Structure 1
């Protein structure tokens, strides 16, 4: 009959209660499947790395042994016995690394950069996969005035390149060719107002003084604490606030809008017109119409009379009949067709 050899056994808790196994004695934990060997003082799990202070580490002589440092400067390090030396297995900081970045393989997130392409810590070449240029080549191309127009905010030639701010300023200036036409406060002030509000505008009349001197017919706009001036072009219009009227620039003067379109021939019934606010009606005497101080009479004493009290009809009872009993109507008294 074959023999069966069994070692001391029980649960992990029972082993703890039992205490230290004798030197060389084995113990098997039936619940955790761990095997321990004792030395008479403590139990060590079979297969567990040797551990203790680094100074207590045995000489390297058995390939495959592991030793874990539990205290001291190198606490936490794990060493492997190569048969001739203890080799550190784990690394805790970058300072523990040896070798170079060339040892890192290319990946999807990081890639190598050739040492020759680094100058003072910066890549000195740019590549799109087909074209590779150095920083010096790129700088030469960018700074080549023959290939690129240089920014020149003071230039006026069509080949001059302006900055974004200069372009914005020019657009704002161009907008003023329309904006000043919207409204001006007055066109008769010869001296600039003492306390103008931002964006107040005025048409400068002849004889202006102070800051407006020599700016006759121009539009002055107060902006950012100073007056800006705009020379009108033919067709500009401006609404004058204090007059509530619109004026247009005809190239010579500001004229009331529509004034240039009025045509009234003097001596034929109406005189005046143009930009005047009134038109005079002149009735020719001696043509059956009499003009008085307060009235105009057509056929004195008969027909229609216009005076200060209104319009009156003088009835002669021959040709016209006033019928008060029949709704105050005017009726024809007699109709005579005359003879051939």
Structure 2
């Protein structure tokens, strides 16, 4: 006949009444399905965690017991018996937490967001501790064209903003406009004009006044209501409107390099030259040379012959010798005092 070995058993309440099991003695609670082993002083539960519905969970009374809810209310929760109450071990949603979000730290700092400041999961207000603005208020502020102007590279008004690239392009274009072949209105005007037009340019002379003071030889350009000044670089060339002549910068001065043709006129000596428009040339009026308004002529005589070849001197070949071998010089050959 088969033998049956049974350990001490009874309800959980009966075990509590019984007290401590002997050292090594086991006891089985028939109502809670718990297994305990004693040491003569206390009883310790052994084996797997208790499980079942939450309604079937025994009253908390033994520290260390675990109970897992397998059906019904709070399915999936694990509880711990602290001797007086069952404490939930695992949290499955935010509402399971006790306290406030302030109790949860990130290791250094933490903060909370008011529920009223969250819309559809997104924070709808920003605060610096003193000023609080909604996202809508911030957007209105950012979109305000008076406070925050939109980049408009095609704009030309004073209120339009240009991108950095557009500004660089305009600067390069402005530089090219005053480089070779640019036009200036005048290079002798010492006082800035009272009513300049946008784009007007001038070469500033010595002695300039007003906003041109101490800007000698620079190019002044009037744009957006103000004068902008450029230091010339060697090789810059400018057409001067009032003179209809071209000047170039040689590193120290603006010099004439083109324009109206120069005229040679008869006079009493070589006057001017260089950049002058009129050159007066004297060729020794009188003494056989005649200077008229548009012609110069020589009077033949006294050994001078004027013909189609030019003006020739008559050489006798005896007393005056033409020496072609020595720089085409005239030399004296024979000096004869003659007879009484």
TM-score by length of 1: 0.41
